[in-house]
């Protein structure tokens, strides 16, 4: 067993780290404050190859898929991006781990040739539409419907909580094609954002990841060619669940990145802040918070890479992905709480980034399956 990253991933790590420090650091606070995503970062991530990590080289991707290390590569990139900016992190995660991975696994050759070259280089941003007002954890109860009419489907309904909706160029939409079967009546579709009948609705005012736009997306008699159907009719729910296994590993990476930001900032602060004539890092109460943070972050990262390695090999990893997301997201929240504590009053001020980390960490326990859902997945695997 080798705990070192392969050389290609070490190179990706240092390039992404430098990108995050030079390009994202200054933007992260501004995006959070203004609640506005700076879309120029998408092209920059494209130029670096990040937007094509989960796409085969033949379609313009970065080559990690061809070497069966795309899930680990996504983890490497997402940890570094989220270390600095979780709003950019979720944008990249949805694009790579939900949109591109799904199309790569379940799309046909024509769809990949049509869409991937633009998605791989960041000219197009992908988004993923599963959730609805009445359908969250119970995703199989979705009602947005697609009715077949000749060579087309007509899409009607609305999706809620859609990450990147206002600046996404293309969506994967899960829609109901049969009312008779619940989960077996769901089908996946590619829907270009500029298609007639697609409208981006209300933007949510959020607690965290405020730089990333989260919106309602409405479909009103939106006609899409049958050629845009991904996989077979009625197979969309299984596709969505399988894709979420990969997505959860991406959210684990987001949580590890946020937790690492908490640890690094809190350690630096504790070394320079003095009380009672000495640096507060000399106080055992502070040391223990940092020691627990560091230990839980390493454990989270190991769980994350275990799940990603299994998925890279094409093996089932539902339980392992759930464990990684559950543990990493709870770690990020504990780390953020303790980082604010170590900063004292300053931790409560917007002058320092830990206040943002605290708000950003919260979402990792909610989207792509809440912590309750991850425990259900793990318990079901245990009970067979």
Ligand X SMILES: Cc1cc2nc3c(=O)[nH]c(=O)nc-3n(C[C@H](O)[C@H](O)[C@H](O)COP(=O)(O)OP(=O)(O)OC[C@H]3O[C@@H](n4cnc5c(N)ncnc54)[C@H](O)[C@@H]3O)c2cc1C
Binding region for ligand X (CB under 6 A):
94, 128-131, 136-137, 161-163, 206, 209, 214, 363, 366-370, 372-373
Contact 214, 165 (CB under 8 A): yes
Catalytic residue among 23, 330, 355, 368: 368
CB of 363 to ligand X, least distance (A): 5
Residue 17 or 375: the one with the smaller Cβ distance to ligand X is: 375
Phi-psi region of 221 (alpha: psi -120 to 50; beta: other; left: phi over 0): left
**159: closest CA among 217, 98, 224?**
217
Residue 244 CB, nearest approach to ligand X (Å): 9
CB of 137 to ligand X, least distance (A): 3
The residue to which tokens 């077996």 are assigned: 184
Task: Using the minimum distance from each CB to ligand X, give the nearer residue, 290 or 324.
Answer: 324
Shortest spacing between CB 330 and ligand X, in angstroms: 14
* Minimum distance, C-beta of residue 329 to ligand X, in the bound complex (Å): 12
What are the CA-CA distances from residue 283 to residues 3, 274, 286, 335 (Å)? 32, 10, 6, 18
Query: CA 145, 147, 150 angle in degrees (round to 5)?
Result: 160
Query: For residues 153 and 146, is the Cβ–Cβ distance under 8 A?
Result: yes
Extended beta strands in the chain, E state: 126-129, 145-149, 152-163, 170-176, 186-192, 198-203, 214-225, 229-230, 274-275, 278-279
**Contact status, residue 177 vs residue 186, Cβ threshold 8 Å:** yes
Q: By C-beta, is 67 or 183 nearer to ligand X?
A: 183
Task: Output the residue with the shortest Cβ distance to ligand X.
Answer: 136
Among residues 234, 290, 285, the alpha carbon closest in space to that of 262 is found at 290
Shortest distance, CB of residue 133 to ligand X, whole angstroms?
A: 8
Structure tokens at 338: 């303790």
Q: Find the shortest distance in angstroms from Cβ 247 to ligand X.
A: 9
Q: Which is nearer to ligand X, 95 or 301 (CB)?
A: 95
- Least Å distance between CB 341 and ligand X? 25
Say if CB 163 and CB 94 are below 8 A apart: yes
Q: Which two tokens stand for residue 352?
A: 């320092």
Active site residue 365: no
Taking the C-alpha atoms of residue 185 and residue 147, their distance in angstroms, rounded to an integer, is 12
Of 94, 81, 72, 82, nearest to 10 (Cα)?
Answer: 72
Instruction: Give the residue with the Cβ less far from ligand X, 69 or 240.
Output: 240
Cβ contact 229:147 at 8 Å: no
Please give the full DSSP string across 240-305, using - where no structure is assigned: HHHHHHHHHHHHHHHHHHHHHHHHHHHHHHHHH-EETTEEGGGSHHHHHHHHHHHHHHHHHHHHHH
The catalytic residue positions are 368
């Amino acid at each position: 067993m080798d705990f070192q990253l392969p050389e290609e991933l070490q190179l990706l790590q240092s390039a992404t780290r430098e990108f995050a420090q030079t390009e994202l650091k200054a933007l992260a606070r501004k995006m959070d404050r203004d609640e506005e995503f700076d879309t120029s970062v998408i092209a920059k991530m494209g130029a670096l190859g990040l937007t094509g990590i989960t796409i085969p080289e033949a379609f313009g991707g970065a080559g990690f898929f061809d070497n069966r290390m795309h899930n680990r590569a996504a983890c490497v990139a997402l940890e570094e991006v989220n270390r600095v900016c979780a709003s950019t992190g979720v944008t990249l995660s949805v694009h790579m781990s939900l949109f591109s991975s799904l199309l790569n696994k379940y799309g046909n050759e024509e769809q990949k040739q049509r869409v991937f070259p633009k998605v791989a280089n960041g000219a197009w941003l992908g988004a993923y539409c599963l959730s609805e007002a009445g359908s969250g954890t119970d995703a199989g109860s979705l009602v947005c419907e697609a009715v077949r009419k000749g060579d087309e489907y007509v899409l009607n309904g609305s999706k809620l909580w859609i990450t990147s909706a206002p600046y996404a160029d293309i969506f994967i939409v899960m829609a109901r094609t049969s009312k008779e079967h619940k989960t077996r009546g769901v089908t996946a579709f590619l829907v270009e954002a500029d298609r007639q009948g697609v409208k981006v609705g209300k933007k949510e005012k959020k607690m965290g990841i405020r730089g990333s736009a989260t919106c309602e997306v409405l479909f009103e008699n939106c006609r899409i060619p049958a050629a845009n159907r991904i996989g077979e009719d009625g197979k969309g729910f299984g596709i969505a669940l399988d894709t979420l296994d990969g997505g959860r590993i991406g959210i684990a990476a987001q949580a590890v990145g946020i937790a690492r930001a908490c640890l690094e900032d809190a350690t630096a602060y504790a070394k320079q802040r003095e009380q009672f004539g000495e640096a507060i890092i000399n106080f055992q109460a502070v040391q223990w918070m940092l020691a627990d943070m560091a230990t839980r972050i390493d454990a989270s990262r190991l769980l994350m890479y275990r799940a990603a390695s299994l998925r890279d090999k094409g093996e089932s990893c539902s339980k392992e992905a759930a464990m990684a997301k559950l543990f990493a997201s709870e770690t990020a929240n504990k780390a953020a709480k303790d980082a604010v504590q170590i900063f004292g009053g300053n931790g409560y001020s917007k002058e320092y980034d830990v206040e943002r980390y605290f708000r950003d960490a919260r979402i990792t326990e909610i989207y792509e399956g809440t912590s309750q859902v991850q425990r259900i997945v793990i318990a079901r695997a245990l009970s067979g």
